[in-house]
Amino acid sequence: MVAPLSGAARTPPQTPNQAPRLRGRSSTAASSLWCSPPNRSVPAGPPLRPSGRRPDSANVLALKLAAQGSNAWTQPELARSLHISASEVNHGLQRLAACHLFNVRERRVIRASLLEFLVSGLRFVFPTELGFLGVGMPTAFSVGPLARKLRLGAEDSVVWTAKGKAGGVQGRVIEPLYWTVPLAAAEDPLLYEYLALADTLRVGRARERALARDELAKRLAS
């Protein structure tokens, strides 16, 4: 992140396109991108990825808000539904606003920008690979609208490691966008579909990614 110019004693006046201040810190102070480590500490969570970065719940938060549509929400409600802390929600909203993915005044994700990020950036910023066979919760093209279109065999299944009733499917294991994703997806079918489409963009082949892109474009246009 570029350091502020020396002698800059005050924050510049807000412009119409600039997000207003969120609780705790300004969006300017939260302007680190996903490709850089967060500037503020958050509660201890999952271990670092092989790249040396910790998974970021802001991606899941953006998909949750997209799935919410025009329904009202509060930060504590989002925290409970995503199985993350309230401070992670607040920090995630700041990051989304800094990356021009969240309109603070209107309390909504910027759908066109979110689609562009998911399609063009997600698999590069948050890459994953198909791992060994395991038992877990189906994701990517193994569940939801793409599973109904592609009708792939069981040998092509992709899963998150998960326990309980939802975690009884065998497939190639991938790392979810955040460690609480299986818990949140099990409680919210619409969010589950968004997460599966996002995972298809991360691990799918060209045809599968194209179908995921089209499905997300249809959903985020509404």
Residue 37 lies in a domain: no
Cα separation, 105 vs 18, in Å, equals: 10
Residue 10 lies in a domain: no
89 and 106 housed in the same domain: yes
149 and 206 housed in the same domain: yes
Q: Which of 3-17, 144-158, 186-200, 203-217 has the lowest mean pLDDT?
A: 3-17
pLDDT score, position 167: 76
Q: What is the mean pLDDT of the chain?
A: 81
Q: Which helix (H) or strand (E) holds 215?
A: helix 206-221
Mean pLDDT computed over 203-213 = 96
Residue 32 lies in a domain: no
119 and 146 housed in the same domain: no
Where is pLDDT greater, at 30 or 219?
219
pLDDT score, position 49: 52
109 and 159 housed in the same domain: no
Contacts of 143 (CB under 8 A, 6+ apart): 192, 193, 196
pLDDT score, position 165: 66
pLDDT in tens, 138-182: 999 999 999 989 988 888 999 999 876 677 889 999 999 999 999
Residue 143 lies in a domain: yes
Residue 173 lies in a domain: yes
Of the candidates 219, 67, 215, 206, the residue with the CA atom closest to the CA atom of residue 148: 215
Cα separation, 99 vs 152, in Å, equals: 36
Residue 53 lies in a domain: no
Residue 180 lies in a domain: yes
181 and 147 housed in the same domain: yes
H helix runs in 132-188, sequence order: 144-150, 181-187
91 and 151 housed in the same domain: no
191 and 166 housed in the same domain: yes
Of the candidates 34, 28, 29, 23, the residue with the CA atom closest to the CA atom of residue 57: 34
Name residue, tokens 């979810």. 176
73 and 110 housed in the same domain: yes
Query: Could you give the C-alpha distances from 118 to 9, 35, 126, 129, 130, in angstroms and in order?
Result: 37, 14, 10, 17, 19
143 and 93 housed in the same domain: no
120 and 143 housed in the same domain: no
110: domain range? 58-125
pLDDT in tens, 10-69: 444 444 444 444 444 333 322 334 434 344 443 444 444 544 445 689 999 999 999 999
Do 161 and 174 form a contact (C-beta atoms < 8 A)? Answer: no
User: Which pTM was predicted?
Assistant: 0.78
188 and 209 housed in the same domain: yes
Residue 182 lies in a domain: yes
Residue at which a domain ends, from 98, 125, 152: 125
Q: Return the half-sphere exposure (C-beta side, CA atoms, 13 A cut-off) of residue 137.
A: 26
Cα separation, 184 vs 212, in Å, equals: 21
Mean pLDDT computed over 203-211 = 96
Where is pLDDT greater, at 56 or 213?
213
Residue at which a domain ends, from 71, 91, 125: 125
167 and 121 housed in the same domain: no
Domain count along the chain: 2
Residue at which a domain ends, from 125, 146, 172: 125
